[in-house]
């Protein structure tokens, strides 16, 4: 399926949520329709106007929000009071601010993690879930990101590993954190560009010509916040999301997973579906991680279209 036409927001705001943070949010589409919340990835990525185009604007009330430190939220790239419980509370504060009773959660990668964490905390306010590239923030998943992806993208893996001097490679995540949090822009921006270039290079089944090259705005928030969460195991207890599935098993869910997703390998989506047998798992044989790859993009739009029948009932 093709994406819906570009649209502009009908409401925009900054929501103060404490600790000095203000969250950028916008609403577009049908103001009286069922609500859908786009939960962006990273942690640290932020939203883009293109993300509204996954949803039929004649049907859905479309909500985008930039999480703490991300995108147009303030302060940029801040890791102060930035944890999963904070972000869950922020989404609930936004729901109350917008006067939404229940909403569909649409999240990929880290967005799937946060959507599940929010859903398990507030199941009564969820219509259902559309998830992509499932990530549960287990220690093996973090280790895979740091070293395993290089088995499939060795050029990118080598650039990532050798960015650090030999003396720092025995504890790479701590070394990356130190550099990303250094006050000197020459140090933290060069580290952020290297971190994000590594992830970009591994994101698609067919890499783009510029994958692995320095990337644009938002690199610091993406890299700094992502490393912050990885160093703290996502601020989740071991198996927290799998153990908490009883809270949301009754809610409809569609899981869309690229077979060749190197960043979030399909074994995690398979494990989630094992403890959530009511969910529909679709593994795409010709897709990687990036939501904008044509097979994933089309499957995600189809999944949201399927959810129309659920929310109408």
Domains contained in the chain, CATH given: 11-137+237-312 (3.40.50.1820), 139-234 (no CATH)
Contact 87, 111 (CB under 8 A): no
pLDDT at residue 206, rounded to an integer: 83
SS3 of the chain: helix, strand, coil, percent, to 5: 45, 15, 40
Contact 85, 235 (CB under 8 A): yes
Range list of H helices, the chain: 84-98, 110-121, 139-147, 154-163, 172-180, 185-201, 219-231, 240-243, 266-275, 294-312
Task: State the Cα–Cα distance between residues 200 and 211, nearest whole angstrom.
Answer: 6
Task: State the Cα–Cα distance between residues 304 and 313, nearest whole angstrom.
Answer: 15
Q: Catalytic residue numbers?
A: 109, 261, 289
What's the longest Cα–Cα distance across the chain? 60
Q: If you search the block for the tokens 């949090």, which residue do you land on?
A: 181
Q: Which of 262, 165, 256 is nearest to 211 (CA)?
A: 262
Contact 173, 227 (CB under 8 A): yes
Residues 6+ apart with CB under 8 A from 10: 27, 28, 29, 31
pLDDT at residue 301, rounded to an integer: 98
Strand partners, 282: 256
The radius of gyration computed from the CA coordinates of the chain, to the nearest angstrom, equals: 18
Strand partners, 283: 257
Q: If you search the block for the tokens 């430190």, which residue do you land on?
A: 69
How far lies 238's CA from each of 3, 93, 247, in Å?
37, 26, 17
Q: Which two tokens stand for residue 12?
A: 């925009």
Contact 205, 287 (CB under 8 A): yes
pLDDT at residue 210, rounded to an integer: 61
Q: At 132, give phi and psi (nearest 5°).
A: -135, 145
Predicted confidence pLDDT, tens digits, the chain (313 residues): 899 999 999 999 999 999 999 999 999 999 999 999 999 999 999 999 999 999 999 999 999 999 999 999 999 999 999 999 999 999 999 999 999 999 999 999 999 999 999 999 999 999 999 999 999 999 999 999 999 999 999 999 999 999 999 999 999 999 999 999 999 999 999 999 999 999 999 999 887 776 555 556 689 999 999 999 999 999 999 999 999 999 999 999 999 999 999 999 999 999 999 999 999 999 999 999 999 999 999 999 999 999 999 887 6
pLDDT at residue 48, rounded to an integer: 96
The number of residues in the chain equals 313
Q: How does DSSP assign 111-135, residue by residue?
A: HHHHHHHHHHH-GGGEEEEEEES--
Burial (0-12, 13-18, 19+ Cβ within 10 Å), 114: buried
3-class SS of residue 156: helix
Contact 226, 195 (CB under 8 A): yes
């Amino acid at each position: 399926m093709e994406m819906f036409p570009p649209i502009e927001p009908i409401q925009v705001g900054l929501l103060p949520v404490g600790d000095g943070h203000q969250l950028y949010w916008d609403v577009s589409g049908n103001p009286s329709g069922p609500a859908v919340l786009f939960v962006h990835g990273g942690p640290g990525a932020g939203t883009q106007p293109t993300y509204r185009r996954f949803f039929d604007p004649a049907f859905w009330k479309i909500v985008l929000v930039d999480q703490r430190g991300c995108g147009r939220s303030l302060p940029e790239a801040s890791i102060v009071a930035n944890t999963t419980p904070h972000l869950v509370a922020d989404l609930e504060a936004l729901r109350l601010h917008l006067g939404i009773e229940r909403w569909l959660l649409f999240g990929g990668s880290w967005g799937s993690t946060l959507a599940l964490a929010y859903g398990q905390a507030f199941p009564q306010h969820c219509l259902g879930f559309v998830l992509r590239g499932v990530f549960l923030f287990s220690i093996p998943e973090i280790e895979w990101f740091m070293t395993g992806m290089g088995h499939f993208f060795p050029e990118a893996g080598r650039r990532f590993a050798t960015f650090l001097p030999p003396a720092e490679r025995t504890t790479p995540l701590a070394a990356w954190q130190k550099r990303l949090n250094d006050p000197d822009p020459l140090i933290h921006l060069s580290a952020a560009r290297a971190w994000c270039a590594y992830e970009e290079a591994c994101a698609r089944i067919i890499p783009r010509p510029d994958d692995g090259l320095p990337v644009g705005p938002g690199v610091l928030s993406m890299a700094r916040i992502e490393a912050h969460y990885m160093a703290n195991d996502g601020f989740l207890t071991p198996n927290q999301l799998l153990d908490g599935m009883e809270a949301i098993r009754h809610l409809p869910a569609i899981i869309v997973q690229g077979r060749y997703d190197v960043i979030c390998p399909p074994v995690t989506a398979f494990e989630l579906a094992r403890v959530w047998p009511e969910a529909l798992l679709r593994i795409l044989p010709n897709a990687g991680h990036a939501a904008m790859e044509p097979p994933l993009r089309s499957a995600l739009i189809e999944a949201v279209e399927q959810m129309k029948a659920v929310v109408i009932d």
